Amino acid sequence: MTANFLYQLDKQFPNSWVLTLCASKFELGTINQISDVLANIHPALRVLYQSTLVNELDWHANASLAQCEQVSAVTTLQWVVEGLGCEGLPPLLPQVKAAFAATNLNNIDVNAMPLATLLRPHKLALFDMDSTLIEQEVIVELAKKAGIGEQVDTITESAMRGEIDFVESFTRRVALLKGLSSEALEDIVNHHITFSVGAKRLVSALKANGYHVVLVSGGFNYFAEHVKNTLGIDEVYANDLDIIDGKVTGKVTSPIVDGQRKADILQSVASRLGIGLNQTVAVGDGANDLPMLGLADIGVAYRAKPIVRAQADYAVNVAGLDGVMAILGLTS
């Protein structure tokens, strides 16, 4: 779908929506089931336009490809829909989420966005790092090096589910790292950090389309700078890991980047760049990402915890991180 064509649709059908569906494969029966679900949401719903995108590169079969260059092997359908003979559709987002949650279509990413939102120029994107841009939780990798993996795993998972305060959990986990050699950090960067499938493709597409891209992490600057430099991200906000004489002290020495701090950074960077909040995107997976996901115009939960998926407007679970491109209407 070209931008001009979509603008014309929006002008003619001002209350239309874009449904984006991603799956590894669409069978005819699946398409029919999706159509039935949509018909049950609104009896007068009709499809104005459909486009299909197939990612031809199967990342599973390309071992020689740099890991951060991998691409999701998915098919994406985009449908522009509107209510035939209606003054306008009621907000589709909560209805679509509820309707598809009640089906067995668990292997499909389904997102509904007002066409006007898709057409609005977005210029700022913020990303969480751990389990979003990269596949690991870095503090868990550090804990493994320190021999306290199980203890930190328990605290981390509890925090990501929103059961305990992030600042408290962060302080407790860092304290457990006291005495860890700084050499362990270098080893993790060199041998234990893997980028999420589609990360490089997504960041490259955002940059090509004029986005300012920011990494904002409750993790550590040492690793965030590596991710920033590898992916070509513009700036980074993360926590300092205090090291004296080559050993981690276990102390927190700077303001912790928690959920509220992430939202504040989104607000601050947008203000500094003269970008409206209605032109911003945020992507994350944990409970401490919810404030920025809620503040951004487009908040995307990426392979997220249930509490995050339930509250985020948009979600990617089947596709890789480049599935965010489909939600934003980007092809390259």
Active site residues: 128, 130
**Which residue from 265, 199, 261 is spatially nearest to 226, judged by alpha carbons?**
199
The dihedrals phi and psi of 248, each to the nearest 5 degrees, come to -70, 130
Cα torsion 114, 116, 119, 125 to 10°: value is -60
- Sign of the alpha-carbon torsion through 22, 23, 24, 28: negative
The single-letter code of the amino acid at 155 is I
d(CA 196, CA 130): 10
The single-letter code of the amino acid at 232 is G
Residue 126 CB-density burial (10 A; 0-12 exposed, 13-18 middle, 19+ buried): buried
d(CA 282, CA 167): 21
Return the structure tokens found at 78: 């985009």
